[in-house]
Structure formats: C-alpha cells, structure tokens
Structure 1
Amino acid sequence: MRSGAADAAPSATPVRRLRALSGLLPYVRPYRAQVFLALLLLLIAAATTLALPYAVKGLVDGGLVVARAGSDPGRSLVGRHFLLLFAGAAVLGLATAGRFYMMSWIGERVTADLRLAVYGHVLRQSPQFFETLRTGEVLSRLTADTTVIHHAVGSSLSMGMRNLVLFVGGLTMLLSSTPRLVLTVTGIVVLFVFPAVVIGRRVRRLSRAAQDRLADTSGLAGEMLHAIPVVQSYTREVEETARFAEANEQAFRTSMHRARTRSALTAFVIVGVFGSLLYGLYGGVQAVFAGEISAGELSQTALYVIVIAGSVGVLAEVWSDLLRASGASERLLELLAARSPVADPEQPVSLPGVSGGLRVSFADVSFAYPSRPAQPVLHGLCLTIAAGQTVALVGPSGAGKTTVFQLLQRFYDVDGGSLAIDGQDLRRLRLSDLRSHVAVVPQEAVIFSGSISDNIRYGRPAADEDEVRKAAQAAFVDEFAGQLPDRLRTFVGERGLRLSGGQRQRVAIARAILKDAPLLLLDEATSSLDAESERIVQQALDAAMAGRTTIVIAHRLATVQRADRIFVLDQGRVVEAGRHEELIKLGGLYARLAALQFVA
C-alpha cells in the first residue's frame, strides 16, 4: 500500500500532488455555510488590510502636508484620518477573529469526521487487511496524519488564502499606482519561481517519508507494548529499547532532512521576493526625488510592498504545510480506498432466525491465506454438521481447524468449493446477518477496557441487567465477581489485565451465552482453566450447547469424548470421522493422539 504511492511521488509536480487534498472535499462540503462565512470574513479582513495603505496616503498628502503649512482645517483632517484608520483596525480585528474561529471550527470538524470515517472503514476490513499493515501504523495515521490535516485545514489553508488575496490585491494596487515599478518587480520574481518549485517537490517527498518513518515507530511501539509480559519475561527490555531508538532516530533524521529543505525553500522565497520588492521600492524613492510621485504615494507604495513581502513569506510557509498535508491526506485516503475482498452481496438473501441450531456444510472446500497463496491450508475439505449437533475438530497443529472457524465467520472467502449454512452459500448472506447467528469463545479471551458487565453485554448490547446476571451465573463468573468490591461493575483494566486468564475465559463464555446464537464455536474454550474450574465451566458450556449447533476445537481429547461426531483433520482434509469409541477402534490418527494424551 505504502510503496506504490511513494514510488509514484517523485514523478508528480507539486501542484498535481496537492490534488490529494481534493479528497477532503467530501468532508468539507457538508459545512458549506460555515466555509462561506469564513471566506466572507477573510475577504473583509483582506480588503481592510489593502485599504489601510490607501488611507495612509490620504493622511500624508491630504492631512500632514496641509497641517504642516499651519492650517487648522489640516489638523482637523489629520484627526479624521486617524479615526478612519482606527475604524479600519477595529474591522480588521473583528473580521480576523471571526475568520480564525470559523476556520478552527471547520478544521476540527473535518478532522473529526475524517478520523471517524477512517476508523469505521478500518473496522470493516477483513483480517487480510491487517496481514500487511500493522495496527500501530493505522493508529499513526489516525492521530499524527489527522493532526497534520487539522493544522492545514484549520490554520494553513486560511492563512494561505488570506495572504494570496493580499498578494494579488497588493500587486493590483501597486499596478494601478506605479505600473512601471510592478512590471519590473514581477519580472524579477518570476526568476525565483522555478527553483522554488523544484525545492517544493523535494519537501513534499520528504514529508511523506517522514510520516512513514513516524508510522514505523508507532507500529513498533504498539507491538511491544501489547507484549510487555513476554518482553520482560525474556529480559529483552534493553534490546527492544535499542530497536525503538534506531527507528526513532531514523524518523528524526528524515524529519530534520525535511525541515532543512523546507527552511531552504522559505529562505529562498522570502529573500528573493523581498529583495525584488526592495529594488522596486528603491525605484519609488528615486521617483519622489524626480518629482514623479508624491510623498503620500511613496508611503502607500512602501506599505503595499510590506504587505506583499509579508504575504509571500507566509505563502512560502503555507506551501510547505500544504505539501505535508497532501502527504498525510494520501496516507489516509489510501486507508479509505482499501476495499475488503469480503463484502455484502448486491442482492443478499436472509438467514431466518432459527431455534435448534444451523446445518453447516463444507463441500470440497480449498483455501489458502492471501498472504501465503502458495501454501494451501485446506484441500478439498468435505464435512456436514446437522442442525443441533455437537461436533469436535481435532488434529495436529496446522491441520486447518482454526481456519474452519474463520471461514464460518466469513473473515475470508473460500478459494474453491462451497461453504453453506442451512443450504445458503455464505457469500450470498449479509455479513451482519451471518455473524449475528454465530457466537464464539476464542482460545485467547478478548476483554475490553470497562467493567465485567460491559464485557458480557458486548455479546448483546440491548440485554438488561437480569439477563447479564443470568449469563454470568451460567458461566460461573459470579463466583469470583461476587468477591470483588463492585461485583459485575468492577473495572477490569486494559485488555482485562486485572483478571486472571481463567477469569477472562469465563467472561468470554458468559458473553457467548448471552448472545444466544444458533451456532456456537468453541476454540479451546477451557484451555486457560484449572481442573476444577474446567469441570464447572464445562457444565455451563453443556447447558449453552443445548439446542444449538456447536463446533468445538480441542487439543485435549478428554473434552470432546461426548461429542456427537468427531472430525479428525490432517493437512487440510478430513481423514477420520465418527464418535470417540469408533475412532479409537479404527486405530488411526485419532487413536494415536488419544494414546499419547491418555498415557501421559
């Protein structure tokens, strides 16, 4: 995702690269009224600024010169000119404050909408998306890149538009008063345009590189912080700190390279343009000496030169900011442009709410993970599970058991064959409809920051307190929660770190029980429990499995002996099927696995 955009960047001109900012228009368009008001205030402030030099000309020629001659009306005229200047300053102050507030509001609003859009879009991506992009990089784009865009939309863009108006307006006013001077200055300024464009292209490329390096450090930090117990257990703190320091230093070097180039661009533009304008102002002074213009016209010219020079300096800064924001926009729009290969069909069929479980059928299913297309996981898998049946999937690691669960939830689509529930191919079902019929208890229980009750209710947010309490009792969560100060309202910490592994597993089981889906998937659901807890929770699972189709993955064969049917998988195929006693008599793979475990 990232390399393609980076490779394409050098060949594009800065103006074409700024077109990436046009991708933000859908997020600005809903706030047209606010944008119009901000532009109106901007024009009022710019027009007032451009009018002040003209007012100064009137003060010098129509007031100070007359007053110097000893005329009382001249002194009165000076007072009126100063009142007029103060009124202009008041209008300028109010319009500038209003523009700043409106543009800040637009920047905050657009950034918040964009961040929400990217986050919601990422949540709908299939696991394939995260096989190639680390979550830390996604977080970097959601935070660092949106901050850059906020600065550009809420501040830089406003300043750029204001100073562009001042630049054009100042040149126009100069052209109307001293055209010969403006033509000379313009010719000199053009000489600086081409070098500035070349430097700008370099700034844009380095801005993208700096943001990518920052994303690398965020991805590395996120990965390590989620694995703190492992890092500390293997005493790898020093090595991981050194690895982060290297990535951090690389991000620093890239950012400083960008800063040096950006500084050179700013200095080049300011010195070049300001020098050109000073040359023009020198010509104006000579014109006063020659009697071609008045002192007031010279004052007006000097002020317009200052306005133009100041606007050019700001425009140079804004240009760099916009180039940087363009890189950030590209990265965020890349996320928004990502399309999950798993999506709702155009004409979905409904999966009716059923009681008694769902019928599941794998017919000659083949599958390989997109990140490893040359290594198929399933080879012509065929198995049928009757509605309400409890079956177990057993076999060595890598046999494809967990893949079966991922395909049943349609995290991926099969490469060949068909996978159907109640006779409906999964690809014809709406994703939300399919997954609402499935409850899962994974091997590693996922607990969110919040209370125990919040985590149980995650299975069915609309459930009332009584239903949550019954689910907690069924999974024996109340046994440990009853000893806590706030019981089910106890805060469990990030990723449930305040709970033991077995307690987290019970909460996950209670969540699945509360969901009450017709298809229940249990992936080593009791693997984190001690023998006594396993016996208790197994009773809860037995009750939860009643009246629904249940598929159990278990390496400990003692937990699957009562299954209605056991499918033995090896290298992506069903090699044996039957009840526990039947498979023992076959003397095949299941019998060998059972002998190893039970003898042990």
Structure 2
Amino acid sequence: MYDRTGGPAGGAVLSLMTGATGLMLPLVARDLIDDLSDDRAITGALLLMSALVVANAVLGALGSYVLRRTAESVVLGARRSLSSYLLRLRIAAVDRSEPGDLMARITSDTTLLREVTTDSLVGLGTGGLTLVATVVLMGFVDPVLLGVTLGVIALAGTVLGVIVPHINRASRQAQDAVGVMGASLERVLGALRTVKASGAEPREERTLHDAALESWRQSVRAAKWSAAAGNTAGLAMQIAFITVLAVGGARVATDAIDIGTLVAFLLFVFYLMAPIQQVVGALTQYQTGSAALARIQEALRLPAEPAAGPAGLPETGTAPAALAFEDVRFRYAEDLPYVHHGVTFTVPAQGMTAFVGPSGAGKTTVFSLIERFYDPGSGVITFDGRDLADWELPRLRASIGYVEQDAPVLSGSLRDNLLLGNPEADEGALTRVLKTTRLDGLVSRLPDGLDTLVGHRGTKLSGGERQRVAIARALLRRPGCCSWTRPPRSSTR
C-alpha cells in the first residue's frame, strides 16, 4: 500500500522519546535548584540538562521527518488505490458522477490524508501518552497543584467538545465545494470552443467564482473553529499557570512545599502546553482529514467492474464471431423510459451489418451493451455463441474492436494513440493498418511522423482524422468483431 521505511511505529517511538527527554528536564531542574540551595556542585546537572536539550531537538527532528515520510507514503498509496479503482468504475457510475469532482477526490482529498496520518492519529497517540506521563509526574511532585491544573483542563475540554464537531462539518462542506469547482471547470474546459462561440464566458466565469467563493467561506469557517479550539487550549494553560503560581506561592509560604518543588511544577505546567496543543491540534486536524477520508470512501463505494488482469489479444487469422440479441430490454435508470423493448436480431460472423434509424432509436446503446458498459434489464446477448455474462470483461473487449461515436483521441503522440490497445504491435502491422485506414498520407505530412503530438483530445487533427485514428487503433487489436457507431464514408468505400 505504501513505503514502510521508518513507518508510523518508528515515528511514534521517536516522538515518545522526544517527550521523555522533555519530561526529564523539570526533574533535573529541581535537582539543580536543590544543589544550589545546599551549596553543592551543579556541573553534573548542567551537563545532563544540556544533553537532554540536544537529544530532545535531534529526536524531535528525526521523528518529524519519519512521520512526514510515512504520511506522504500513505497519500501515495491512497492515490494509487483510488486511481486504480476509478479506472474500473462502471460506466453507469461515471454517468452519475462529475469527472471534475472525482479528480478533486484523488488530488486535494488524498492530500488531506496526511493530516489524519501524522498530525492526527500519531499526534493524538504520542501527545496523549506524553500528557498522561506529565500528569503522573505532576501528581508525584504535588497532588494539590495537580488537582488545580486538572480542574482548569476539564473546563477547557468541555468547551472543546462543543467546538470540534463544527470543524468537521465546515471541512466537509469546503471539500465538497472544491469538488463542485473542479466539476464546473472540467465542464467548461471540455466544451471551451462552444462556450466561446456562444459568448458564455461571463456566465461560466460567475459559476466558477461562486464555487470558489463557497469553498473559501467553508474553509474560513473551519479556520475560525480551529483557531477557537487552539486558543481555548492556550488560554486554559495560561489560567492554569496563574492559578498554580498563586496556590503554589501560598503553599510555599506555609512550608507545605519548597521553592524547588514549585519551580519544577511550574516547568511541568509549561511543558504540559505542548502535549495539550498537540492533542487539540490532532483533534482539529482529524476533523479535516476525516472529512476528506469520507469523500474518498464515497468514491470507493461507487459500483465498479471486477478486478481482472489484461487479456491476450486474438491471434492473427482468428475467425470472425457472430453476435445475437434475444428479447433484450434496457433503460439507463429506473426513472427513465426504456430504450430497447424486446430487441431481437442476429449479426452474422461474415460481412457488414448496419443499424439504421432516427436519432434516439438506441443504435449507440446497442454497442454499449455489446461492450458490457451496461447490462440489459432482461434478455440475452451472445457473442461467438456465449452469453456475454459468461465472458471475462478483458477477454470480451479484447475480441471486439470498438469505435466510439466521438472517436476520442488522447493527449500524446499519434503513435501512442494507435498503440493504446496493442502496445506490442510491430511496425509491419502498424504500416498495414495506416494504409487500410488511409492515414499513411497524414503521417507523411506530419513534421515528426507518428511521433507528432496530437494535442489535448486530438485538437491538432480534424474530425475525420480522429475517427480514422480510432478505427486504426481498433483494428490493431485484431478483433473478431468491429463495432463502429458512425463509420466515416472513407472507411466504407
């Protein structure tokens, strides 16, 4: 899942060691004051304090690095897992989702996982243990002053219990707003020519600005509650210090404790600020991270195709396969009308079969069902004599050459696009397919031939050229059946 070098356990141990060296300082300081009071040498105490300070700094830096490395490894693992899962999403799930929002989940949401990993879970564990250890030592020094300190901390804890849930809600709404903005931006950039031709830039700009403003509002709300939580903890410790100073001074005046004990306890109060701030910070960061984690888990609950390894392509010379629909009924959603009402037909293995009908008759849906992008509500579809449901998806799709109506071309070189479905194709096969689809002339005119970059979504190619690239890509897979939603005239001559 992620690089385990160092790991969270190692970082937690180093953090605890950092806390232990810090806890020893007040005790050594008390001994140093006692030595001064009794006119004893303080060289040993000073050397020990110096060593503890250096060790505290070194262990703290090393622990911070290990925890940060672990957090980045967790983010890497989450991005790998989520990207693999999103590639296996069922088309129906993608139809119901916004691609821009899914991209936000894999980019900004996964980034926030480091908050859960380091500042939150490990911080809560190490800070909590350090807090408990400090309280135990404070009780050992003076139980009365400890009671005063715990009373102030309990009051602050009650206030924090009211604040923390607000951080979670605001953080979740801020991340949702980021997803909305990503979806809006993807929508505009995907049809930028249409937006410009329609003069719709001002309206789309307002939509993007509104989404950005909503994200800002929610982020500011989360920051407000986080600041309130942090300052509540800081204020509590200031009140605890003043109270301990007053009560402790009175106890020194009555000889209940000596001045060294009071100094040691005050140092513990100062030291207590760090683990308390760490615990409070961990709680607030956890609210932010858990909101992002909830969005990631939502994406991982979307319906996906079963994981399967790549299937080998059909051998050269493989016999064509027949296709048949028998009483197939299908609709895209429960609340939508049926596209197919008991469709039955047979496509022979040899020759060419055309589906002709008005727009919206369900011609493209036929090809989507053949590729099993969707499953029929009832009826049977067979390919090469076998029910489509019995085929492994990679093997089924390797046997069918599918060309979409929009004939999408990916960013990269022309060669990359042609070899997308069969990266092992040799130059001979590539040359034959280029000639068959009449792309050889285009390649000869391009400045870098097959290595020419085609631009985002193939913007450097014409519509007909993009469709021929899609056909060539399908033919290179040596399919037993080719399905073209709208073949260009040049390919049917």
TM-score normalised according to structure 2 size: 0.94
Given the superposition, is the C-alpha separation of residues 269 and 94 from structure 1 closer, same or farther in structure 2, using an over 3 Å criterion? closer
Seen in structure 2, the aligned counterparts of structure 1 residues 159 and 351 have a Cα distance that, compared at 3 Å, is: closer
Given that residues 171 and 182 in structure 1 are in contact (C-alpha distance below 8 angstroms), is that contact kept between their aligned partners in structure 2?
Answer: yes
Q: 1:390 to 1:300 in 2, by over 3 A?
A: same
Seen in structure 2, the aligned counterparts of structure 1 residues 470 and 65 have a Cα distance that, compared at 3 Å, is farther
Are residues 1:248 and 2:200 paired? no
How do residues 195-206 of structure 1 correspond to structure 2 at under 5 angstroms?
195-206=159-170
Whole-Å separation in 2 of the counterparts to 1:187 and 1:344: 56
CA contact (8 A) 1:61 1:295 kept: no
Alignment counterpart, residue 60 of structure 1, candidates 33, 37, 54: 33
Deviation at 1:189, TM superposition (A): 2.3
Tell me the alpha carbon deviations over residues 337-389 of structure 1, each in whole angstroms, 9 at most, x when there is no partner.
2233x5589xxxx998782211111000000002x543100000000112123
User: Alignment partner for residue 446 of structure 1, among 395, 405, 408?
Assistant: 408
Worse-superposed segment, 77-86 or 38-47: 77-86
Distance 2:242 2:133 in 1: 18
Give the equivalent residue in structure 2 for 1:423. 385
Shift of the alpha carbon at 1:156?
4.2
Amino acid in structure 1 at the alignment position of 2:296? L
Q: Which residue of 2 aligns with 1:172?
A: 136
Instruction: State the distance in 2 between where 1:466 and 1:154 align.
Output: 54
Matches of 2:248 and 2:373, distance apart in 1: 73
Following the alignment from structure 2 to structure 1, what is the Cα–Cα distance between the partners of residues 377 and 385? 19
Matches within 5 A, 1:60-79: 60-62=33-35, 64-67=36-39, 74=40, 77-79=41-43
Structure 1 pair 149/217, CA: closer, same or farther in 2 (3 Å)? same
Letter in 1 for 2:24: A
Amino acid at match of 1:280: V
**Any idea what SS the aligned residue of 1:356 has?**
coil
Contact 2:314 2:399 survives alignment (8 Å): no
TM-aligned CA deviation for residue 457 of structure 1? 0.3
Give the Å deviation of 1:66.
Answer: 4.0
Residues 100-119 of structure 1 mapped to structure 2, 5 A cutoff:
100-119=64-83
CA distance in 2, matches of 1:402, 1:254: 42
Matches within 5 A, 1:218-237: 218-237=182-201
Cα separation, partners in 2 of 1:148 and 1:344, compared to 1, 3 Å: closer
Q: How many residues align?
A: 490
Q: Indicate which of 538, 541, 545 corresponds to 2:492.
A: 538
Q: 2:367 aligns with which of 405, 410, 420?
A: 405
The residue type paired with residue 464 of structure 1 is D
Q: What displacement does 1:32 show?
A: 8.8
Structure 1 pair 369/291, CA: closer, same or farther in 2 (3 Å)?
Answer: same
Q: Give the alignment of 1:129-208 within 5 angstroms.
A: 129-208=93-172
The alpha carbon displacement at 1:255 in A equals 1.8
Distance (whole Å) between structure 1 residues aligned to residue 10 and residue 135 of structure 2: 26
SS in 2 for 1:384: strand
Structure 2 unaligned spans of 5+: none
Aligned partner of 1:55: which letter? V
Once residues 390 and 197 of structure 1 are traced to their aligned partners in structure 2, the CA distance between those partners, rounded to angstroms, is 70
The AA in structure 2 aligned to 1:251 is: S
- Equivalent residue number for residue 42 of structure 1: 15
TM superposition shift of 1:313: 2.4
Change (3 A) 1:36 1:246: closer
Question: What letter matches 1:141 in structure 2?
Answer: R
Equivalence for 1:513: 475
| 1:358 aligned residue | 321
Whole-angstrom distance in 2 between the partners of 1:259 and 1:344: 41
Q: 1:462 aligns with which of 400, 424, 430?
A: 424
The answer to whether the 8 Å contact 1:344/1:430 transfers is: no
Cα distance in 2 for partners of 1:390, 1:538 equals 10
Q: Report which stretch shifted further, 90-99 or 153-162.
A: 153-162
User: In 2, are the aligned partners of 1:61 and 1:294 still within 8 Å (CA)?
Assistant: no
SS of residue in 1 equivalent to 2:353: strand
Q: Relative to 1, partners in 2 of residues 1:59 and 1:467: Cα closer, same or farther, differing over 3 Å? A: farther
1:305/1:344 CA distance change after superposition, 3 Å: closer
Q: Distance in 2 between matches of 1:157 and 1:512?
A: 49
Q: Who is 1:51 aligned against?
A: 24
The answer to whether the Cα contact below 8 Å between 1:159 and 1:314 also exists between their aligned partners in 2 is yes
Report how far residue 112 of structure 1 moved.
0.7
- Indicate if the aligned counterparts of 2:314 and 2:398 stay in contact, CA closer than 8 A: no
Q: Equivalent residue for 1:8?
A: none
> Aligned with 1:242: secondary structure?
helix
Instruction: Using the TM superposition, give the Cα deviation of residue 87 of structure 1 relative to its aligned residue in structure 2, in angstroms.
Output: 1.2
Determine the C-alpha separation between the residues in 2 that align with 1:413 and 1:517: 21
Q: Are 1:312 and 2:276 counterparts?
A: yes
In the TM superposition, residue 47 of structure 1 has moved relative to its aligned partner by 0.6
2:294: which partner in 1? 330
Paired amino acid for 2:77 = D
| Separation in structure 2 between the aligned mates of residue 393 and residue 267 of structure 1, nearest angstrom | 70
- Distance in 2 (alpha carbons) for counterparts of 1:200 and 1:141: 23
Number of the residue aligned with 1:380: 342
Report if the CA contact (8 A) 1:108-1:154 is conserved: no
Deviates more, 1:331-340 or 1:224-233: 331-340
Q: Distance in 2 between matches of 1:78 and 1:464?
A: 82
2:452 corresponds, among 464, 479, 490, to 490
* Identical amino acids, percent of aligned pairs: 28
Shift of 1:33: 6.3
Q: Deviations over 1:275-333 (max 9, x none)?
A: 13431233222222322223322221111101112322232222111011111111101
* Deviations 1:468-508 (CA, angstroms, capped at 9, x unpaired): 33322322222122222211011122212222222222221
Mapped contact 1:270–1:316 kept (Cα < 8 A)? no
Query: What's the offset of the Cα at 1:89?
Result: 1.9
Distance in 1 (CA, whole Å) between partners of 2:314 and 2:430 is 25
Equivalent-residue separation in structure 2 for 1:466 and 1:93 (angstroms): 65
| 3-state SS of 1:394 partner | coil
Higher Cα Rg, which structure: 1
Alpha-carbon distance in 2 for matches of 1:152, 1:229: 41
Q: 2-side partners of 1:166 and 1:306: how far apart?
A: 13
Most deviating of 268-277 and 181-190: 268-277
Contact 1:105–1:154, Cα closer than 8 Å, also in 2: no
Q: How many angstroms apart in 2 are the aligned matches of 1:156 and 1:405?
A: 49
Decide which moves more: 230-239 or 469-478: 469-478
What SS is found at the alignment partner of 2:354?
A: strand
C-alpha distance in 2 between matches for 1:317 and 1:344: 39
- Contact 1:439/1:517, CA 8 A, preserved across alignment: yes
Residues 429-440 of structure 1: pairs in structure 2 closer than 5 A? 429-440=391-402
Where 2:327 maps in the other structure, the secondary structure is: strand
With normalisation by structure 1, the TM-score equals 0.78
Q: Distance in 2 between matches of 1:420 and 1:33?
A: 53
Give 1:395 deviation, angstroms: 0.1
- Aligned partner of 1:123: which letter? L
Aligned equivalents of 1:132, 1:268: Cα separation in 2: 43
Gaps of 5+ in 1: 1-26, 68-73, 527-533, 540-600
**What is the CA–CA distance in structure 2 between the aligned matches of 1:37 and 1:259, rounded to whole Å?**
31
Q: How far off its partner does 1:396 sit?
A: 0.2
Does structure 1 conserve the Cα–Cα contact (< 8 Å) formed by 2:152 and 2:239? no
| Equivalent in the alignment of 1:268 | 232
Q: Is the 8 A contact 1:281 1:301 kept in 2?
A: no
Distance 2:424 2:335 in 1: 41
Do 1:358 and 1:422's aligned partners in 2 also have CA atoms closer than 8 Å? yes
The separation in 1 between residues aligned to 2:401 and 2:118, in whole angstroms, is 45
SS of residue in 2 equivalent to 1:220? helix
Conserved? CA contact 1:145–1:328, under 8 Å: yes
